[in-house]
Amino acid sequence: MKRNWKIILFSFIGFIILLVILGATYINNVGYNNVKLMYKLNTKNVSIVQMDEDGQYLGRKINSNQILKDRMEREGWQFKQQEGAAFFFKKDNKEAVISTEIWNSNYVLYRVDDNVVNLADK
């Protein structure tokens, strides 16, 4: 009877260790800061978060194109056209090009050329 208890205990400990290793591997592959951003997108009332100061933003994949267009319109930019994954906007005599990329299957990476507009929720 004591032997079965030890087997169950060691199996449970082994399972916990395996979960920790898998979690650490995931965080290592994705990046700790990116995991924090994904958590923020899923727990707070935000659609787009800023990844860095160079014009990279992260958003959820659901309705991502419409969210981008709405966000740019809110900032005074007019949608002109889409070519593949690139969206073109115009404001006064300036043009903004924002490229999108599916990232980690559930998220979209937005890249704003020349960082002309801040897409992040305020």
| Number of domains forming the structure of the chain | 1
Tokens of 29: 């592959």
111, part of any domain: yes
Print the SS3 string covering 32-92: HHHHHHHHHHHHCCCCEEECCCCCEEEEECCCHHHHHHHHHHHCCCEEEEEECCEEEEEEC
72 assigned to some structural domain: yes
Residue 97 domain flag: yes
In-domain check, residue 11: no
Confidence of residue 85 (pLDDT cuts 50, 70, 90): very high
The whole-number pLDDT of residue 28 equals 63
Per the listing, tokens 């009877």 go with: 1
- Global pTM value: 0.74
- Structural domain includes residue 36: no
How far apart CA 65 and CA 57 sit, in angstroms, is 13
Model pLDDT, residue 8: 81
The pLDDT of residue 81 is 96
Q: Is 96 within the bounds of a domain?
A: yes
Q: What is the pLDDT of residues 17-32, one digit of tens each?
A: 888 888 777 666 666 6
Quickly tell me which residue has 């559930």 as its tokens: 106
Q: Does 83 map to a domain? A: yes
C-alpha span between 57 and 52 (Å, rounded): 7
Within 10 angstroms of residue 119's Cβ, the number of other Cβ atoms is: 23
CB 101 within 8 A of CB 93: no
The answer as to whether 33 is a domain residue is: no
pLDDT tens per residue across span 89-98: 999 999 999 9
* Containing structural domain, residue 62: 47-115
Q: Are 114 and 99 in contact (CB under 8 A)?
A: no
